[in-house]
Amino acid sequence: MRNIPFLNLKQINGQYQSEINTAICRVAKSGWYLMGQENKIFEQKLASYINANHVIGTGNGLDALVLIFRAYMELGILKKGDEVIVPANTYIASILSISENNLTPVLVEPDLTTFNINPENINASISQKTKAILVVHLYGQVCAMDKINAIAEANKLLLIEDNAQAIGAEWNHKKTGSLGEAAAFSFYPGKNLGALGDAGAVATKSEELAQTIRAIANYGSSKKYHNEFKGLNSRLDEIQAAILSIKLKTLDRNNNKRRSIAKRYCSGINNSSILLPDIPKDTHSHVWHLFVVRSKERDRLANYLKKNGIETMIHYPIPPHLQNAYSGLCDISLPIAEKIHNEVLSIPLHQCLTDSEIDYIIETINKY
């Protein structure tokens, strides 16, 4: 029987094995492991890739988000109790970064076809206290930025991007991560650009924000033993930075491979009990971090695929407002977010899938 894992990181990273070995050796022998040349190089490469003025490496993607909000608090642009608009169906990290800073997340229903925040629902959630929108380009697809930009401008809201899942995607020829005031990236191993451990980054056009974040991430200090802020420690390892510089070179190629697999799934799968995602008109607006289908009998479909050797995952089984950690939010009614969490199933999609694996996945789903 076939055995197709959801993701095979050994295979994916194996493609860079000799380059990665060289990089690890170089850093190991250099005697310099934090805040060095490798960070500087990767930060510059990512900044030029997305066309941002500043990139700051961080320990992970959650820290990148937390640092953005923390810096706005330190700069007096946000204050305790301010409200931040965020999609109701995002990964918990987006919400954690808001509550961690004593800001209030205001959950907004997504669009059932794109899974992204529905701009039509944002206005009704704006109050006197609303100060920011955190957009999440979920599953790799850019949000409806025309409408969201207009809402942010009209209401003078900060626009922040959680770009953990959409590195390389474009809107109007601009890369995600450069579409708002500041953006967070995650290089968690399973992301489209993955490190061999935890890693993340912040990107911004603002020099002031960049300097503040750099200081906060380094114990609140930009001069050794002088602490301007009550900071934290969240830095990108030199080894991870060196590996990310190598893998960034092939990101576009890998994202294109993902697009071609998504296209094959969408044209090949014709099982009427399964709802497929739309291929957007602008193919550059999606990098297919995940290929997510919907089924009324999601668990039955997952079991059937498992029996046939195809591993699937659910992103995500429980929405944030129904998590014990956010019991204060459980009273709100978010039927679309709940429907999504009940019906979604992610099927394998990554650059190392072979033609015959893709065909087998399509055939197996069609026989369901």
Ligand X SMILES: *Cc1c(COP(=O)(O)O)cnc(C)c1O
Task: Provide the binding-site residues for ligand X, judged by CB under 6 A.
Answer: 60-62, 90-91, 93-94, 136, 162, 164-165, 186, 188, 198, 200
Question: Between 244 and 365, whose beta carbon lies closer to ligand X?
Answer: 244
In the complex, the smallest distance separating the C-beta of residue 245 from ligand X, rounded to whole angstroms, is: 18
CA angle in degrees (0–180, nearest 5) for 358-299-341 = 95
Question: Between 69 and 364, whose beta carbon lies closer to ligand X?
Answer: 69
Q: What are the C-alpha distances in Å from 315 to residues 105, 205, 255, 273, 293?
A: 20, 31, 20, 19, 11
Query: Which uninterrupted H or E stretch holds 142?
Result: none
Query: Which uninterrupted H or E stretch holds 162?
Result: strand 158-162
Q: What are the C-alpha distances in Å from 224 to residues 36, 43, 212, 213, 214?
A: 15, 21, 15, 16, 13
Question: Between 233 and 273, whose beta carbon lies closer to ligand X?
Answer: 233
In the complex, the smallest distance separating the C-beta of residue 212 from ligand X, rounded to whole angstroms, is: 20
In the complex, the smallest distance separating the C-beta of residue 102 from ligand X, rounded to whole angstroms, is: 19
Name the nearest CA neighbour of 162 among 190, 132, 189.
132
Structure tokens at 259: 């697009």
Question: Between 93 and 292, whose beta carbon lies closer to ligand X?
Answer: 93
In the complex, the smallest distance separating the C-beta of residue 202 from ligand X, rounded to whole angstroms, is: 12
Question: Between 109 and 162, whose beta carbon lies closer to ligand X?
Answer: 162
Let me know if 96 is exposed, middle or buried by CB neighbors in 10 A (0-12, 13-18, 19+).
middle
Question: Between 304 and 326, whose beta carbon lies closer to ligand X?
Answer: 326
In the complex, the smallest distance separating the C-beta of residue 285 from ligand X, rounded to whole angstroms, is: 17
Which amino acid is located at 199 in the chain? A
Beta bridge partners of 110: 117
Chain residue at closest Cβ approach to ligand X: 61
In the complex, the smallest distance separating the C-beta of residue 163 from ligand X, rounded to whole angstroms, is: 8
